[in-house]
Structure 1
């Protein structure tokens, strides 16, 4: 059993609405956690970014940064073409890149987005062409039931974020992931309100081209869509349902199997077929082991 324990320096923070990503920072397996502290919209509410390392059965927070802006989502990838991960986050209209080194977080770059409603981010390492980054921007008018999501793609080139494509869909995107293979694919879940569960796959080699779509739930939203590390497979977690593993064949998604998990578990890919099962307990996290 693994515990995520806040040390004295970070004990005041309880991260609300957390999003997690696994990371390779070198020597030890690591987890990056983002979210907010305090009640949204009230004074004192801040964005929080934490780095935790797995050490001898414990997962301990070793670095933390707070921001005036809410941080909504996180992923990891290379900003300089090396095998060591950097941290990419999005929220409140800002795309940021951080470097973790020596138990400290340093801002490497940031990019202003067009909408403050920027909920989701996904990355894919590509040493030849530069790490690919996809983010969502959502806009809805007061008299509309459904808004429009813009998905923007960036490449990391020469230490900068360069936009390479964008497209729009008339729906809200619950989550998205980038898959590797013969060519890169973007997978996203879309819906409106509490109803959704529609997955779409786009070939993003050049101009995004939708190559597959299908509904994978009975109408439930999927607010967690994650790439398995080092594999062309995907973990999709419907709200209130059992997580499902899908494999990708030329962009076509094929349901492989369901994953045993309690409803409150957060599943974090830590390998091509292995998942860490994390459960929130107050300001701590407890790991319920791994599942293949």
Structure 2
């Protein structure tokens, strides 16, 4: 059997198209194997909610991902498939996203009768923080952070809209700004009440109201990092050593490759005795 140059070219493009799918399948297989291993070790259902930039097939175009309704549908489905007496471990790595989706996930986790543990290896901001607050236990890397959950209207913080109207006066702003201020006021009250309901089962009503108002009032910028130390001061028992499987799992959700990486290192654990000697 002989092949023409055109035939070989078609075969090359077919293999090139199948390569990403094959690589993705192998990666998914390793992820599921590691998740199953962690489930057996902890006797729990492990769910991951990990948002990194994804690349679109051959085009290599990075797209950012956030918490959306598809995520909430998948997480709720996983919770429904979990027995009431089985703990749930949720691995969170997200910049946040749609409030509706985050609230659905948080409410479902809060209703689960067995223990719910949230693992934060790097960050869980905004809606991710809201989900973490629903857990019975939050385990974070010592350098990981959570964030405020103050609502945003498009690109504008709800608290800042109200502050602008207060400074200028209602009679000096246009009708659209007044309508935004009305929506902002409702959004702040709604999110504060929801966070309060998440916290009141874990602490006194007075403490729950104080913390919910602090996290939603816009005292900080929306990307302000709440460290382990700050969270402990607020009364959250966070920050313990994460299982090594969590870090291994994060390695299986790589960022898209860049032509020139911005971070490079030798991926081996060092001790003082094994430190390379330049002499």
- Structure with the larger RCO, 1 or 2 (CA within 8 Å, 6+ apart): 2
After TM superposition, the score normalised by the length of structure 2 is: 0.30
More strand by share: 1
Q: Which has the larger radius of gyration?
A: 2
After TM superposition, the score normalised by the length of structure 1 is: 0.29
More helix by share: 2
